[in-house]
Structure 1
Amino acid sequence: PSLWSTKEFYVYYVLVAIVVPYMLWSTYYLSSDHLPNYKLYARTLSNGWLFGRKLDNTDAQYREFRHNIPLLAAVAAIYVAISRLIDRFTSTMRDGQLVRDVSARRVFYLVSSAVFMVVISGANVIKILLIVSINYAIAKVGQGARWNPLATWLFNLAVLLFNDQFEGYRYGNISDMLAFLDNHRGLMPRWEIHFKFAMLRMVSFNMDY
């Protein structure tokens, strides 16, 4: 049954109506040039795009995302368009309902994901696939075993530590013959930063496998 009209959701409505505007106002207030401390961090701010306000664009992860919004929007539009075309030419009518071709969808997901990963991460996709494969092997071999959670957490925490220590690893440090791969790191060369989110997904996958 729908929960939209329950007492619990009414509490959520009140909280959202109060907290969200307060968050927006706090951000607006703290970025005001009338504050005494504004001059201490004004040099770190960049020109914004709303009402002449400045914005904090110093975080590398946020800056990469912000600068690539037009490209991401274009990619999303192309993805949806191709997906619709595949459905149109591969789906069939069955008992008055449109049924998707599962095999065609799988191929589309595989190809589109591979292209996206290569464009975003470049040659670093090799490192990502290696880490993901090892994590999957732990889940596969340790399915139902008590040591699976421990091995999963130890492996992923070790990956996080090594990623930070070696800054995503350089191919040139492994072999001079592989050094040329360091020049092809995709749109987001610091893959190790964004990989933290993938690590949480991998841990969750292994726990439920």
Structure 2
Amino acid sequence: MFALSNLKETSKDNDENSTTKYSVLETSSYPTSSRTKLPTKINSPLWNTWEFGFYYFIVTISVLLMFKVGHDLSKETHPNYKKYSWRLQDGWIFGRKVRYTIRLIPRPLWCIDLCLSSLPCFESFISNFFGTEISSKISKSAPHKDILFLRVFEGSIANPIITWIFNLGVLFLNEAYGNYKFGDLNENFAFLRNDRDLAPLTEKDRIIGPCFREDYSFIYYLSYALYAPLYLAGPIITYNNFIAQLRYPCEIDIKATLIYGIRLFIAIMIMEFMLHYTYVVAIVKSKAWDGDSPLELAMIGVLNLELVWLKLLIIWRFFRFWAMSDGIDTQENILRCMLNNYSTAGFWRSWHRSYYRWIIRYIYIPLGGNKRTTLNMLIIFIFVALWHDISLKLLAWGWLIWLFILPETIAKKLFSSQNWVDWPRYRHLCAVGAILNFLMMWAANLVGFVVGLDGMKVLFTSIFMTSTGLMELGIACIVLFGGAQILFEIREEEKRRGINSEIRF
């Protein structure tokens, strides 16, 4: 969903065989340019200033108003209630009704089947938690090379002499040839390479490091393709990475895994609360928005986007939590909250991250990368749109996303020089750009995944063809301006703490 776009990462991170650098859309999370060779400037905190006090006020009020509007539209006394009420069912929170986008509480038989299929995976987590091992992990069945040293001269004076001669000879050979592989002498000696039996330490090592020859087999590939946590709806992981983790199991961090599970549960409860108190999903499905004000139409759209974000967050995090409990390290698919993004490039870089990296590696780089950035992005978004489904609204979504990324790309080239960075009002100028990014991204995603082309036409007419709509749009821009300033400061705070803002949720 929402696929990817900031189609740029360095070849160092994404394709060890590529020499192309991908930097056009790889920008700093703060308005200042991180791609210049100048040292990163860290500004003084602004949290306690009067300016930010105003931003806190307007953003807090707007969030409360957003929920209130959604709740008012969901009341039985609303004129449009009867048009969509048939889509609702009895909920479990204080007698409220609900329209599920996903069934968060599975049917009993499905739940039992899922639990049974999960037992082998969660066994690793339980074993670590209680300090006991229930049974052998699948990874322990992976083949290992065991070298048998035959000490022919054990107990003889020749033993230390031969040992010293052999070791000194190896040292001289190392000095003479610098680097060599036993496999160069004969492929049967390849197993003598010491580094083959060292576990990869990082995700990158696991991805680019070759597996054992016997690991490239049908059985192991079948295990990779049908590994339940990732096969159903989990993050994408490469074959080398998966096999490396089977051979060298990651230790489960019990505390971090439990915290991750608690956060997942909190996300589920937030979505349940929203679904029970705002019926915007049923409203959109029934197109029950006759007579609604521009503000109400806008809130129907934004709340639906929030629910789409929550739905995918829950799905992806559930399966990642499942894999984590089995000791398999996977990529987090959503790095930030949907509203915690003011940059189109930054949003797509952190949305469905594992799929984004797959696109970079297997499509964007083979197309030439930054050599044809604009054209390649268009091809990528057409591919992603068709990957979701073959429909006109998704093609329109792909074209719109491509079109809306271009202004930010151009603006970054015009306003990212050191002269602009030192300008006292530079962050305010960037906030104006952030407003446009917010509005354009929301518009494109509403077309693709919520109201479609017809619904967007109604919303557009309501906002831009009425005085009330234009006034409410102006107020919304002021709120978004304040929100962008807060997001800028969040990125600055991450820099002060030495946190990589690209991987922060």
Bin the TM-score by the shorter chain: 0.3 to 0.5
Larger Rg: 2
TM-score (norm 1): 0.45
